[in-house]
């Protein structure tokens, strides 16, 4: 059973080291992890971004499921590329799992970046835009996709010291995926 390992892990200083750790955890539970950088495309080569897109899509099409690192990335929500891939996998009926190393609720996170205040029965930010307030950890499309097409978002109880390298929540996803794919 193949699992696509989506996440902003590709942006880490040593992404291949993280790929190795994640794949080893998958193997421990009988799964084969595939990582977006598996293709070895040179990001400096001409047309690299389109090649990476196509390669990631092929890896997703070949996978039975996704484990998405949905730890918020450069803002209150998960990484955009990862969220795109979650939507893609949900639509194709694949098993969808995800984790976040930040236990805060979405509205709490938004408040780290902008002023959040109540207005006419809703929460708004400094631009007057509504802040989604369903007491969910991220946008409802992300959270409920996991609820319906896999397992509820696995959230670290407390933020680990190193949110980009701690794999406890990831490991829980691997266990859940292995159990679901075996049944």
Q: Is 62 in the site for a second copy (CB under 8 A)?
A: no
Q: Is 138 in the site for a second copy (CB under 8 A)?
A: yes
Nearest to 18 by CA among 171, 165, 179: 165
Stretch that binds a second copy, among 25-33, 136-144, 166-174, 175-183 (CB under 8 A): 136-144
What would the two tokens of residue 20 be? 């190795």
**Judged by CB, which is closer to a second copy: 30, or 152?**
152
Residues in the interface with a second copy (CB under 8 A) total: 58
Q: How far is the C-alpha of 90 from the C-alpha of 95, rounded, in Å? A: 7
Helix (H) or strand (E) run with residue 95 in it: strand 95-100
**Judged by CB, which is closer to a second copy: 65, or 178?**
65
Q: How far is the C-alpha of 52 from the C-alpha of 155, rounded, in Å? A: 29
Cα torsion 117, 144, 84, 1 to 10°: value is: 150
Residues engaged in binding a second copy (CB under 8 A): 8, 10-13, 43-44, 48-50, 52-54, 56, 74-81, 83-92, 110, 113-114, 121-122, 124-125, 127-132, 134, 136, 138-145, 147-148, 164
């Amino acid at each position: 059973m193949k699992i696509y390992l989506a996440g902003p892990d590709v942006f880490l200083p040593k992404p291949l080291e993280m790929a190795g750790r994640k794949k080893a955890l998958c193997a421990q539970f009988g799964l084969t992890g595939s990582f977006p950088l598996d293709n070895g495309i040179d990001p400096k080569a001409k047309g690299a971004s389109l090649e990476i897109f196509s390669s990631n899509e092929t890896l997703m099409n070949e996978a039975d499921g996704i484990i998405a690192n949905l730890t918020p990335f450069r803002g209150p929500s998960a990484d955009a590329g990862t969220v795109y891939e979650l939507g893609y996998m949900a639509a194709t009926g694949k098993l969808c799992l995800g984790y976040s190393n930040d236990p805060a609720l979405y509205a709490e996170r938004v408040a780290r970046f902008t002023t959040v205040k109540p207005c006419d029965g809703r929460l708004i930010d400094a631009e007057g835009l509504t802040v989604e307030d369903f007491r969910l950890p991220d946008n409802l499309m992300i959270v409920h996709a996991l609820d319906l097409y896999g397992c509820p978002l696995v959230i670290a109880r407390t933020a680990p010291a190193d949110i980009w390298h701690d794999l406890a929540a990831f490991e829980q996803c691997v266990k859940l995926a292995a159990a679901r794919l075996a049944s």
